[in-house]
Structure 1
């Protein structure tokens, strides 16, 4: 049976993958935050971008826990920061947001199986290797969310969510401290470690 509306109205903002890991300390504050983008289409082209807050409560991180962006497309980094990440309060309100240094990603490598137990993304820049690891993966959920249900508050979003019940952010071979928390999206309780595949953000006609 065909869909009632086979073409979604609006302007495609970007589409791709958008996994993340948010770790918390014993007091419930963020101890490490990582948000990765593998963009298949955007107005400024394709690319891969990692935003890492190894020290979320500081303007500058340390060598062991840096605040940094790794990217293979600087124009995409700027586009995502201005049009998307700046609307995510947890990331935009961090002290380092406006002054994040950007390093060129020399290697971006995916391993594991999102249908299995473990999945990872590894990015390498000059003097820095960051590995994001998701484990204890859960069955996927297909999401279709309206602006009031997404963190940006502006777009419609379609995605496949694979939650993880365990995760690590590893910097130069060392895991950053912290534990996963819980979060609620569109009434569904999940964790702060997530794989988002086939993620498409659409600006509704009334906002475009």
Structure 2
């Protein structure tokens, strides 16, 4: 078995998410969605970015509606919004994606001081975004081939950790909704999750593993 994975590394880093639903309509669509990226290697360099969709079905962006993206590397975030985010299951065919233009972030912070909690913030002069996870479960590793990965052409490695509680905030005000347990890679995972050591490799055809 080959030790070196063949194929170009599209990006590597972290990619936690929070997907919320109305607790009175758990069989309905997502009421709010958020993704955070901390990229350590890519063709577009390193950087952080946070995408928050408070009205996923609206083809409009901040300040008209709470759909906003902040980043410290705009070309990198544009690449992720064009090539990866629309392929992720909860984000497929969402009108909001087409309206988003990344805004330059002025700063941000990570708070992981509690063993069962995590938070990320990014801010600009116009707006402050936050993602907050509590009640973290046991981490598990995944090796997802192109036949199951979101893009259909990458092998994805990651370590996931679900959260029992989570919130998405804009200017420190939480968006409505709660995370749910959902089907995930043949098992179950909260729709609020951390994703560490994540790498997307454009696997070479016929590569052995």
Find the partner of 1:12 among 9, 12, 22. Answer: 9
Tell me the distance in 1 between the aligned counterparts of 2:206 and 2:110: 35
TM-aligned CA deviation for residue 61 of structure 1:
5.3
- Partner of 1:93: helix, strand, or coil? coil
Query: Scaled by the length of structure 2, what TM-score is found?
Result: 0.90
Q: For structure 1, which segment, 51-60 or 137-146, has the greater mean C-alpha deviation from structure 2 after superposition?
A: 51-60
Query: Scaled by the length of structure 1, what TM-score is found?
Result: 0.91
Gap regions ≥5 residues in structure 1:
none
Tell me the distance in 1 between the aligned counterparts of 2:61 and 2:78: 21
What is the RMSD of the two structures over their aligned residues, measured on CA atoms? 2.0
Tell me the distance in 2 between the aligned counterparts of 1:145 and 1:58: 32
Corresponding residue for residue 185 of structure 1: 184
Deviant stretches of 4+, over 4 Å: 61-65
- Partner of 2:31: helix, strand, or coil? strand
> Do structure 1's residue 126 and structure 2's residue 140 form an aligned pair?
no
- Partner of 1:6: helix, strand, or coil? coil
Q: For structure 1, which segment, 176-185 or 64-73, has the greater mean C-alpha deviation from structure 2 after superposition?
A: 64-73
Q: Aligned residues, how many?
A: 204
Contact between 2:20 and 2:180, CA under 8 Å: does it hold in 1? yes
Q: Deviations over 1:89-123 (max 9, x none)?
A: 4324111211213211111210024x712100011
Q: Deviations over 1:123-147 (max 9, x none)?
A: 1112211110010000110111112
Gap regions ≥5 residues in structure 2:
none
Contact between 1:128 and 1:172, CA under 8 Å: does it hold in 2? yes
